[in-house]
Structure 1
């Protein structure tokens, strides 16, 4: 994988980020920051060209020659388009046009997305989420108090999203945000709130989850970690990177669930600042808790595919 190919993939991901028709200087800045964190020293030019419309899908696709680079470009663009939990028609058209330009068969990617949609419903925020029945943390040597039944449910979902990070499926983490959105929707329902999709996604966005640049960095780190770590510098690769991702995802989902629970319990009266304070506090709790549930998360993921893990939602 050459530097030019990586820059091309970042440029295509930038086009994916603005395929919904939204683009601004702040979004461009976030994508530049993500690209720099991947080791690209001067990504501003190609990202600015992509956002200005100076680079087309076909022009960029022509720069990619290996099957691996083409597949990674489409996978990364797919993940960025799913940064809000699902894709809209304009993003769907973008991905279709990109697949045509790259001359790719996207059946495998389509299958992954179908697995996620089947598990969480056609729309990530539509259905209630049953408990996985995963044992909760109750370590007598710690200060963790045995949680109430709904706390069990939040813990279950945090463990499930973390387990997705450990699967070998390259796009398994596409399921994380839909499951987080679904969790928030279920929590709102529990408190008698009638929520639409925008309300759910706005709350999740308050905590900085789901941004296109964040998804871009996460997916490319995962994909490049094992094959281009020398080129990209200090990337986490292989199982170490996946384990680190599982810890972050566990903490984020756990904090999201508990902050949302407090938010809806108080009739949505908390300010954004209060919500962020809650999220930070619960995330710190989750970081402390993670070592005590890490083995259980590993057991959830071990020997499973994305489809089989998601099927635990409906058993």
Structure 2
């Protein structure tokens, strides 16, 4: 892709992040930090793009006009749907944005409807179900959850999300957040807490994980790492050579599972500052740990049945 095409895709990505018109300061700060971090390796000043979008110095028409192939236009739409649905099914404002984007990209309803249906199904995926391919954590009333099994569940979830990030399909990235949400639910349940989606979303925001910004970062890292070229080249399931995004998703999921473990084991007494500090330390540790499990992550990506996984998540 040319630098102009990359700018157009990132601009649409950021516009989608703000399409709902809500001004949650935590999420806006998460997106700002994401733009800042992506600027370091993209060869493009993503922070400048962020400011342009925020101050409306660039239009959706201008961004869409920079995408001159059917593959790029379809990719832009899939990415925008994933961003809009990251924190739940797109609302009226996001629906209007996506309808307008689809028209500007000259996409027919037959091209846009399946993408939106898949994203909606994942956004509404039940949280109170087992993690795919992960056995339940044994628990006794006296001793609490089996710690070794709990750690194994968290590691398996991290490996799975790292593997998903190696796949080029947009649906793979869309599945990561529902899996993280379900992981927090399973950890909480192991300690006797029944959690709803609202609590889990707030917990993620408190530790420093914005749902919308996380998808923006996942997409941005794939773009920076060159994995999206695999999609445009129609290689399909070929695993990208750049694993930066995979390391990010592995580390995020691993740290999230372990900070949730601390929080619920302590009876939910840790405050927001302590949670954020703990997550940051665990995330840094997990980035190093990912190197050890890189072969398992790659093998998991090669054998992963994405259709089966998303079906398990949404039923």
* TM-score exceeds 0.5: yes
1:91 aligns with 2:94: yes
Measured after TM superposition, the shift of residue 200 of structure 1 is: 0.9
1:274 aligns with 2:277: no
Q: TM-score, normalised by structure 1?
A: 0.75
Equivalent position of 1:40 in the other structure:
44
Root mean square deviation of aligned Cα: 3.6
Measured after TM superposition, the shift of residue 49 of structure 1 is: 4.4
Equivalent position of 2:129 in the other structure:
128
Name stretches of at least 5 consecutive residues in structure 1 with no aligned partner.
135-145, 230-237
SS at match of 1:302: helix
Measured after TM superposition, the shift of residue 219 of structure 1 is: 0.8
Measured after TM superposition, the shift of residue 60 of structure 1 is: 3.5
What number of residue pairs does the alignment pair up? 293
**1:263 and 1:269 in contact (8 A); partners too:** yes
Measured after TM superposition, the shift of residue 155 of structure 1 is: 2.0
Equivalent position of 1:240 in the other structure:
241
What pairs with 1:97-116 in structure 2 (closer than 5 Å)?
Answer: 97-105=100-108, 111=114, 114=117
2: distance between equivalents of 1:65 and 1:289?
41
What pairs with 1:7-156 in structure 2 (closer than 5 Å)?
Answer: 7-23=7-23, 26=29, 29-30=32-33, 32-33=35-36, 36-37=39-40, 38-41=42-45, 44=48, 47-53=50-56, 55-84=58-87, 86-105=89-108, 111=114, 114=117, 123-124=124-125, 126-130=127-131, 132-133=133-134, 148-156=148-156
| CA offsets 1:88-116 (integer angstroms, 9 cap, x no match) | 34323322321122112475675466557
2: distance between equivalents of 1:247 and 1:32?
18
Measured after TM superposition, the shift of residue 147 of structure 1 is: 5.0
2: distance between equivalents of 1:289 and 1:13?
30
Equivalent position of 1:260 in the other structure:
260
**1:14 and 1:31 in contact (8 A); partners too:** no
Name stretches of at least 5 consecutive residues in structure 2 with no aligned partner.
136-145, 230-238
1: distance between equivalents of 2:150 and 2:29?
37
SS at match of 2:67: coil
Measured after TM superposition, the shift of residue 253 of structure 1 is: 1.0
Equivalent position of 2:169 in the other structure:
169
1: distance between equivalents of 2:300 and 2:120?
20
Measured after TM superposition, the shift of residue 187 of structure 1 is: 2.3
2: distance between equivalents of 1:252 and 1:287?
9
**2:160 and 2:297 in contact (8 A); partners too:** yes
Q: TM-score, normalised by structure 2?
A: 0.75
2: distance between equivalents of 1:62 and 1:257?
42
1: distance between equivalents of 2:297 and 2:5?
35
Q: Return closer, same or farther for 1:178/1:7 CA change in 2, 3 Å cut-off.
A: same
Q: Return closer, same or farther for 1:270/1:107 CA change in 2, 3 Å cut-off.
A: farther
**1:28 and 1:48 in contact (8 A); partners too:** no
| CA offsets 1:221-241 (integer angstroms, 9 cap, x no match) | 313543899xxxxxxxx7332
2: distance between equivalents of 1:147 and 1:245?
29
**1:169 and 1:306 in contact (8 A); partners too:** no
2: distance between equivalents of 1:210 and 1:41?
21
